[in-house]
Amino acid sequence: MLQVEDLWVEVQGREVLKGINLQIGKGEIHCLFGKNGSGKTSLLMTLMGFSDYRVRYGRIIFKGKDITRMPVNERARMGLGLSFQRPPTLKGVRLRDLLALYGKDPDVGSQLAAAYNFGRFLEREVNLGFSGGEIKKSELLQLLAQGPDLILLDEPESGVDAENLNVIREMIRRLLQKDLPRDRQRSGLIITHTGFILNYVTADKGHVMMDGQMYCQGNPLDIFERIQRHGYEECVKCHLYD
């Protein structure tokens, strides 16, 4: 599904990714761990193709096609989808209008919103005064309407209150086709700080990022347990002895 080869990226002259390699197969779910500023969000933004993230070297292959220089919207149409951590506010643009633009069926948005108790938000301006949890719900709702094949989630649980946590979980499970564990077609790359997501999403692989580099790959539960016990410094040591 996705292959990243020796990817070097800079943002406004500052190097944020330094030789990233990553492979995600069809139906696989990968988790990204790492401190703030380690390059996790930069990796997702680069995969999606945002203009601030300039690829200096390396390639991104998606569904067998080199998308390294492809515009954002073409990547989205090929099946890449991202849930933003801090999306911009769109004044005067109602969530209902956006959902109608994504789906082929204009009713899909309202049905989804109703299913996740989000109906009253349809008339609100996108992200204007949304709480942390509301932003996550709105992002996931948009992704569900879009229906991507490779789903990039940037800390889907941060800032979500207890009441909304269950809804967010349901939405993520649906996005990642939890009901089709064997025949899952979609893949996922998920940034998580808390690791809570591992409780309800079976991830295939975990990766640790530090200082723009991939430090470690392996069983996500094992990695997360080590990080919890020893902190990220342990990853540095482990990497040194690797």
Partner 1 sequence: MNNSSENYNYDDRKGPSDEDLLKTFRPASELEETEDIGEFDEAEIKRLRQSGIDLSGSGRAGSFMQTNCTVQRSDCHVQGIELLPITEALKKYDGLKDYWWRLIPTGKDAFTREADQGLDNGYFMRVLPGEKVAYPVQAGLYIRNENVAQRVHNIVIAEEGSELHVITGCATHPHLTSGLHIGVSEFYVKKGARLVFTMIHNWGKNVYARPRTGIRVEEGGTFLSNYISLKGVRSIQMFPSAILAGPNALARFNSVIVAPDGSDIDTGARVILEAPGTRAEIISRTISYGGHVVARGHLIGLAPEIKAHLECQGLILADHGMIHSIPELEAHVADVDMSHEAAIGRIAQEEIEYLMARGLSEEDATSTIVRGFLDVRIEGLPPDLDEELQAVVRKSQKGI
| Pattern 212-231, partner 1, x by CB under 8 A | --------------------
Nearest to 156 by CA among 2, 73, 40, 52: 40
Strand order in the sheet with 53-62: 14-24, 2-11, 53-62, 65-66
65 sits near partner 1 (criterion: CB under 8 A): no
42 sits near partner 1 (criterion: CB under 8 A): no
Q: List, in sequence order, the alpha helices (H) in the chain.
A: 40-48, 72-78, 95-102, 107-115, 132-146, 162-175, 220-230, 233-241
Using the minimum distance from each CB to partner 1, give the nearer residue, 73 or 228: 73
User: Of 50, 58, 63, 204, which one interacts with partner 1 (CB under 8 A)?
Assistant: 50
165 sits near partner 1 (criterion: CB under 8 A): no
Nearest to 31 by CA among 164, 227, 168: 227
What span, in angstroms and rounded, lies between the C-alpha atoms of 80 and 100?
Answer: 19
User: Of 5, 15, 97, 170, which one interacts with partner 1 (CB under 8 A)?
Assistant: 97
CB of 149 to partner 1, least distance (A): 13
User: Of 19, 58, 87, 132, which one interacts with partner 1 (CB under 8 A)?
Assistant: 87
CB of 146 to partner 1, least distance (A): 6
Using the minimum distance from each CB to partner 1, give the nearer residue, 2 or 235: 2
71 sits near partner 1 (criterion: CB under 8 A): yes
Write the single-letter amino acid at 168. Answer: I
C-alpha triplet 76, 166, 47: angle, nearest 5°: 20
What span, in angstroms and rounded, lies between the C-alpha atoms of 147 and 133?
Answer: 21
Using the minimum distance from each CB to partner 1, give the nearer residue, 125 or 234: 125
CB of 217 to partner 1, least distance (A): 27
CB of 229 to partner 1, least distance (A): 37
What span, in angstroms and rounded, lies between the C-alpha atoms of 191 and 185?
Answer: 20
Nearest to 44 by CA among 3, 88, 84: 84
What span, in angstroms and rounded, lies between the C-alpha atoms of 106 and 161?
Answer: 30
93 sits near partner 1 (criterion: CB under 8 A): yes
User: Of 11, 61, 70, 98, which one interacts with partner 1 (CB under 8 A)?
Assistant: 98
User: Of 91, 120, 182, 229, which one interacts with partner 1 (CB under 8 A)?
Assistant: 91
Binding site for partner 1 (CB under 8 A): 48, 50-51, 71-73, 75-77, 81-82, 84, 87-88, 90-94, 97-98, 101-102, 125, 142, 146
